Amino acid sequence: MAPWALLSPGVLVRSGHTVLTWGITLVLFLHDTALRQWEEQGELLMPLTFLLLVLGSLLLYLAVSLMDPGYVNVHPQEEAKEEQTAMVPQAIPLRRCGYCLVLQPLRARHCRECRRCVRRYDHHCPWMENCVGERNHPLFVAYLALQLVVLLWGLHLAWSGLRFFQPWGLWLRSSGLLFFTFLLLSLFSLVASLLLASHLYLVASNTTTWEFISSHRITYLRQHQGNPFDRGLTRNLAHFFCGWPSGSWEMLWAEEEGDQGDSNQAV
C-alpha cells in the first residue's frame, strides 16, 4: 500500500470514528460512573454488555462504510444484460450516465465522491466516506438503531458520574472531561435520533433521501402523482430488510403504470 493511501479521507474518517468511540468508552470507565461502580462491585454483566454493544456498533459502522453499496456494473457483458432487462417496460425513460457511461437502472444515481453509479441511491454519507445504496442501506439503518442505543446508554452513564456540588476548580479537574463527553454524547444522540427517524419514515414509504429531496427533478417520479414504488408498510419493510417480495424496480414501476391506466379507463 502506498504511504499516501493511509492519508485518504476514508482511512482518516474511519480511524477518527474508531478512536472517538473507544476514547469516549474509556472516559466512561475511568470516571466515577455507574460502569466503574459495577466493575468495583464485581458486577461485570452490565459493563460487558455495554462493551459488546459498543463493539457491535463499531463493526456495523465498518461494514457499512467498507462494503459495496450497490455499484452499477461497468463490465460490457453485464451492461448489455441490464440494457435488455431495462427494455422490458418500454415507457421508462432510462438514461446513460454522463460520467461513467453505464446505463443507469431505475432509482440509480451517479455519486461524484465515489465516482460510480449506485443502485437505489440514498445519499453519500461523509461520516462513512461511502454511499448508502441498495446493498448497505438496511445495515445502515441497523447501525443507526444500535448506535442510538449505545449513545443513550452512554449519556445516562456520563450523567451518573457528574457531581455538581463541588468548588468550581475541583469540579473542573474531576468532572470537566466527563461533562464534555456528556455534551458530545448529547449532540450525537440528537443527530442519530433524527437520522434514524427520517430513514425509518423513508423506508416505510419505500422512498430514498435523494428521491424525497429531488422528486421534482426525477423523471420517473414526475410522471406519477404519488410514489410508484410504495406497496404499503408491511411489504415495504419486508422488501427492504428481507428482500421480499423480489423484483426489479422497473417491473414495480410498470405495474404502477398499468394500475393507473386501468383506473383511468374505468373512470
Reported as a single tens digit per residue, the pLDDT across 81-94 is 554 444 445 556 67
110: in domain: yes
pLDDT of the residue at 93: 63
The one-letter code for the residue type at 52 is L
Q: Which of 176, 204, 232 is the last residue of a domain?
A: 204
For 212-255, how does the pLDDT look when each residue is reduced to its tens digit (9 = 90+)?
999 888 888 887 778 889 989 999 999 999 988 777 787 766 66
Cα dist. 178→22, 35, 160 in Å?
A: 14, 13, 10
Residues 140 and 200 in one domain: yes
33 in Cβ contact with 159 (< 8 Å): no
CA atoms of 251 and 248, how far apart (whole Å): 5
pTM greater than the 0.75 cutoff: yes
- 234-267 b/e with 16+ CB inside 10 Å = b? eebeebbeeeeeeebbbebbbebbeeeeeeeeee
Residues 88 and 178 in one domain: no
* Average pLDDT taken over every residue of the chain: 86
Residue closest to 18 by CA, chosen among 61, 48, 69: 61
Q: How many CB atoms are closer than 10 A to CB 70?
A: 22
Q: How many CB atoms are closer than 10 A to CB 39?
A: 15
94: in domain: yes
pLDDT of the residue at 3: 54
| Long-range own/partner contacts, residues 116-125 (CB < 8 A, 24 or more apart) | 116/71, 116/72, 117/71, 117/72, 118/69, 118/70, 118/71, 118/72, 119/70, 119/71, 119/72, 120/70, 120/208, 120/249, 121/208, 121/210, 122/202, 122/208, 122/209, 122/210, 123/208, 123/209, 123/210, 125/65
Residues 159 and 183 in one domain: yes
114: in domain: yes
- Hey, what's the torsion of the CAs at 241, 246, 251, 253, to 10 degrees? -20
Q: Which of 204, 236, 255 is the last residue of a domain?
A: 204
**What number is the average pLDDT over the span 31-45?**
92
41: in domain: yes
Residues 98 and 196 in one domain: no
Higher pLDDT, residue 8 or 45? 45
Q: What are phi and psi of 89, to 5 degrees?
A: -80, 105
49: in domain: yes
Residues 11 and 116 in one domain: no
Residues 155 and 129 in one domain: no
118 in Cβ contact with 72 (< 8 Å): yes
211: in domain: no
Residue keyed to cell 445495515: 139
Residue closest to 199 by CA, chosen among 231, 236, 232: 236
Find the domain containing 12 and state its range.
3-67+136-204
- Number of folded domains in the chain? 2
Q: How would you classify the pairing of strands 109-111 and 116-118?
A: antiparallel
Residues 156 and 257 in one domain: no
Percent of the chain with pLDDT over 90: 62
For 94-150, how does the pLDDT look when each residue is reduced to its tens digit (9 = 90+)?
788 989 888 888 999 999 999 999 999 999 999 999 999 999 999 999 999 999 999
**What number is the average pLDDT over the span 57-79?**
85
Least confident of 9-23, 53-67, 85-99, 114-128: 85-99
218: in domain: no
**What are the residue numbers of the active site?**
125
209: in domain: no
Residues 118 and 143 in one domain: no
Q: How would you classify the pairing of strands 123-125 and 116-118?
A: unpaired
Higher pLDDT, residue 254 or 177? 177
Residues 87 and 199 in one domain: no
Residues 262 and 244 in one domain: yes
**Maximum CA extent, the chain:** 79
- 166 pLDDT tier (thresholds 50, 70, 90): confident
Residues 62 and 182 in one domain: yes
Residues 141 and 188 in one domain: yes
| Long-range own/partner contacts, residues 162-171 (CB < 8 A, 24 or more apart) | 163/32
Q: Which of 204, 236, 252 is the last residue of a domain?
A: 204
